[in-house]
Chains A and B, each alone.
Chain A
């Protein structure tokens, strides 16, 4: 799911071939886990079927023809909606949050507003869990809720930290823009 939106975000920046997309993705998001070519092409095919990307041109080369993809207005709307939505607090959320922040900065959208919305969502979840813990009848239940609370709190600390580093990250994202960007 996150990969689809990451590719849409990169295509919103500029139309690209699958190969360029893989390189851009790895540079921005794939430090720990580079994306495989197969996954890039499968995702592009899926996005094309859904009308979120389209083929902007085909170039003949030495090897197979190379398709150049661009994002459609439906794709932009979809990306916009995803970026604006706060995520439900859950384990393994860091990748999604990080992707949203980078894509927002890449496209000049307000990343701080996204992080503010996400903070509210997290804090709302913590309020509900705190009430649930106070109503818990056993230490067992109360400790299970504590486990969730501490994890959400860790996300929140990352969000606060990210807000304080947004200007620096924005600069890096700009400096790291593709040299062939139109």
Chain B
């Protein structure tokens, strides 16, 4: 329809600072929503910490793997496990439920910038990721005799948090193709086996040979290797390969999520 003939005055587009303020508010609301869901925040933060306490601090406190203190090694692997959980559940379960139960439609009918909705989920997930990793550091340093310089800690934290983004993309893809009640089950079905096979629970060299080679096709393996390399452990492969795999995986997931978005919008506008 021609806008030139519209009998109503056109309103200018939203100024940038106003748009940024919407993004900020959207992310804050998303974070508060999730933080107050006790069962959610307790399990996202609690699971990796619990595993770390059990396998790192209680059972193997004084062990070492290939010259790296076990408690330090496990911060990298349970850190990977933790950020992966925060990313997958943070994006997929919310999106699937809100898509399926009508809330996303209420938001789409409003003038909310559509991308703010997804950005909020990703930001919320990375905040949870940061909390998980910082708490792992705290536990390791306090009870596990872990020594991490501030620079190293920041490097490990940022590797893990940036490395959680591929899993945010994966979560969005799942959220677009899973139903509101099936999404958590689907995530668990992917999350736990993938974590185990990538050597996040038990260090990779203790896994059978067939699993060790299978791990190379799993994205969490590559993030774990990046995290381990910051503390001088791991398989000592080229970091470029790990980043390339993670970037490729992200692009595939974003592509799938985009298909889901277009399919939904197609129902809406196509």
Chain A partners chain B: no
Give residues in A with beta carbon < 8 Å to B: none
Give residues in B with beta carbon < 8 Å to A: none
